[in-house]
Structures are given as structure tokens and as C-alpha cells.
Structure 1
């Protein structure tokens, strides 16, 4: 049994990860700011469900509040920290960039400082496929350069990767950054395409399809994602290479116990096929507004996930038709439709 501190436990991914670890017998202390970026009721429901387990404790505070973050982490005295909280959303970063710097940069610094102080066995922090930016070489590999972010969201996540490397090098703190690829599933965020498309279709409204549908995404089912995180947490703690030599294909730093890992389905799906999966699950057709590309968006993402498989023996593989059906079932049950 380990003591695990997770930021963002009222969020979509954090909730699923906390539930997985609690079911495995670990003690989890969660932290969430409960911001109104989307429906707070959904966040409260997630925390309430986790709170049914006596091994779960939650703190509500903002990541930028250093004293509150320190107090929560000190109370937990964790063996592991998983930092998932932050300001998400590519499009919202065009409207409110300061929120991303405050939460993703300042907030992450506060978490790293606490991890250093407690000398945790493994600090794991969420990054994003958006850091690959303008890269056109696909599938995206962890060893590819990621120097062309297209939004302030991606830029702040790339900044946290650099910060994590420096802490790993200076303090010998094992750090893994995982890059997510379009995560979806039950209890998902209302600002994500799947949630918006299902809601609009059931309410008789049209959906906005950007770049006239000529978009591709590596859709990752949430239970696959959190299983990968849990395996990386215990089975793939990075160690500083004694001779500076790194195995081919590994993103391990030659000078620090630091690694970047893609977590994706290793398959780039056409957006229109994703929409057809939604129509099949709902049993009704969508009405589509074909739109131009949104500023800051990219036409395609595709994860090379062989490093994850090498490290853990696991590769996400849920088919989008199955994953979408599970989400629609949850949506109908949650909203009594």
C-alpha cells in the first residue's frame, strides 16, 4: 500500500486514476481547485463518489496557492505524486492565456517543490500531444523535437517538461512526463468534442465540424490511459544513466532520471469516422456545420506508443466504437435521458 497524492481528482482523468488506485488498495489524497471552467456540479459528483472510499481524502484549493498546496501534500506525506491538475483546453487558451501561466507554470512549480521536499519515489506530471505543435512527421515520437507550440496551452505544458527535467537533474528526483492524446470516456469534460457532439445531437442542435472534417486524432480511452499511468508509476521509475548512454528509442535523459512517454492508441482516426461512431451509439444522425480550422488547432495527431509498451508491456487498444458507446451509455444514465 502506497500513499499517493493526485492533483486534479475532481477532473476527468484524475477521478478515473484515483478510483483505479483506491480499488488497488492504495491511500489517495486528492487536490482540486473546483474552477468554473466547466460545470462544477460534475466535479463535485466525481469527488463525492471517490469520498465513499475511506482511504480517499480531498483538499480544495488552487494550485497557485503555495501554502495550501504545501499543507495538503505535507498532510499526505506521499510516496508518489501524480500532477494532473491544470488549465486545460486549446481553444480557451486563446481567450484567457493568463489562466494557463498561473495554473500550469506557477502551480506546477509549487507541486515540484513539494515533491522535492518529500523526496517522493516518483513524480509524474501530465503533458499533452499539443507540444508536438507544427510537427508533420507522424507518428509523433517522444524523441522528436517539440519546439513549435501552436498555443499558449501547449507552450505552458512544454515549459513544465523543461522544469521537470531541471528538477530531476539537480535533485535526482525521478520524473516522468506523459503526453496525452485526445482522451475520452465516461465522466468526460463538457468542453471536449465527444461530450459536445452527443449533447447537441440529443438536443436537436447542429455540431461544429472544424476543417470541414479533414482532421485526424489519436483517441485514447480513459481507462486505458489511467492503467498506463499506474503501470508507469510503479514499474517504470526512471533512473539517471550511469554512463550517460540511453537505449535507442528511449526518451530517458542522459543526465537525469527523467523521461517523456506518449500515452495514445497508436492509431490516427478520421474525425468523420468518430462522428459516425457517435451516430451509431446514439441511433440518430448528426446535423453538421462544416467550419474552417480553428486558430491554434492542428489537422492531425498520432502517437507512437512503443516506448510505453517497452516499459510496461501494455498498449492502449480500446476501439473508438466501443469507447464512444460506453460514453453514450454513461451520458444517458447521468442525465436521465
Structure 2
């Protein structure tokens, strides 16, 4: 009898250890018991926001920029009275305010139903998925269980985000340190199918590419002339151009067709087709939208695991823009 009791206690101990370990892992339906309708509430907030403004590119970019600095912990959401938080770094100043507001509105709606339960980091991950789906992109389940970070510093941003003039080696190095493969890199770059860029980020390809050729010769000539008309040298610095040539509000594979046609807007876009290491993947995604959608969904799930805080790490913020203490 004592042996059976001891065996039972041992099994219970093992079971409890496994449960405790499981609390530190992301998983689907994380809030099934604590806030059953969390994802539905977030989606409703996203739908409402998208009916008012083009928030999809900003929200999706916000997720990328958050995860690449400090991990996916909503550190980018923190507002600082001294303008020294992560969002204040020069590389984040062009992230559209609509994305921040989308997450804030969703958080407010969730807090009204389940106060202190759902992290801002998870709300951002759900919102990023939803803007993709609502823009015509793939549906996929989001792993949840992130907690919000306790650090947000502008000085930690530089060198941790891809730059518009990066070559493939630089992109590969940055993505690989987050366990993202070349296929993931090409797939996640496809987020530019619903994005926009300020003229300053590609002006060098139109006016100062090289002494013998001011215009980047890899650009389609007709496309280059269109860009020059849209972005003259004295253009308003706030002016933006679609990152794909025709359907910048629809999540599709036109971005890859543009790359094949010499219409990649940024240097970091164009290199994906020009470099032999990624050329085949770009061509595949240009010809097979289903392959792109599948790869993008897989890469988004992997991106969402980068540097996450789980279990007892971090906190569940009451307000996404400020730490609890």
C-alpha cells in the first residue's frame, strides 16, 4: 500500500513538473480557460480599425520590428516622456501610428472583458495575423502565452533591424540569428506586398546609384521613370510609394512578380531575385501563390517565437504604452 502511495506521489510530482514546464511554452488556445474570446475580441477591434484606415501594413510592420528587438514582447509599444524608448529610435520613426493604435484599441477591448490576463505581446501577434487574413492573405493559428517585456530602450534598436539597402548576406545574418531560414527570409519579405516606403529609402537607386549609372540598371526602365515622377529630388519627405507596383492594399504574390520583372522597390527587395541563393524561391512564390501563403504562415509562426518571455518572466501590462510599475 505504501509503495503504491509512493508511486502515486511520484507520478503526481512528474505530472506537476510537466505542467510547470508547459507554462513556459507558447501554445495555441492559451487563453481557452482564462479569456476564451480573446482572439475574437482582437479580431473585432482589427476589423473596426481597418474599416476606418489602412492599418494593415503598419500593424504587420510593428510586429516585425518588435520581434527583432528584445524579442516578441511588445517592448516597441512603450511610450517614454524622454523619447528614449524603443519606438523613438530612428529606425522605428517611420512605423505608422495606425499600428500602435490598432493594438491599443484591441487591448482596451480585451481588458474590458478579461482584465490583466492577455499580454500586449499576444494581442500584437494576433492583430498581425488578422490584418494579413483580412487583406486576403493566409489563415493560420497563432501560438500564445507571451508576456510583456520590462525593457524598452532606443539605443538597443540600431543594428537589429534590416535596412533598405542591405545585401543578401546582411539580411541572412540578421534573420539567421533568430533561427529564420532563407525561405523564411524570402517569405517574410513578402509582407511588402501590403506595404509602403518613403522615397528617401530608395532615392539612391534613382539619382546616385553609381557615377556611370545614376539609375540602378537592375530596375525596369519604365518603372524607374515612373518612380522618378513620383519621387522627384525635392519631394515631400513624408510621401510614400507602394512596395508592390499595383496592389499595395491586397495581400497577394504580386511582390514576387515585381521582383522578377525588375520592379523591386528597395535594394533589400531586389537582391532576393538577383542573388542565386534566393532566386529560385522568389520565382516559385511568383508562380505559385499557395506556396507563398504556406511559407509565409510558417515563417510568421517562427517569427512569433523569437525571444519570447513566458511563465513568470515579464508582466501582463494594463496599458500597452507603459510598464505596470
Q: Which has the higher contact order (CA 8 A, sep 6+)?
A: 2
**Higher normalized helix content (fraction of residues):** 2
Provide TM-score, normalisation by structure 1: 0.24
**Higher normalized strand content (fraction of residues):** 1
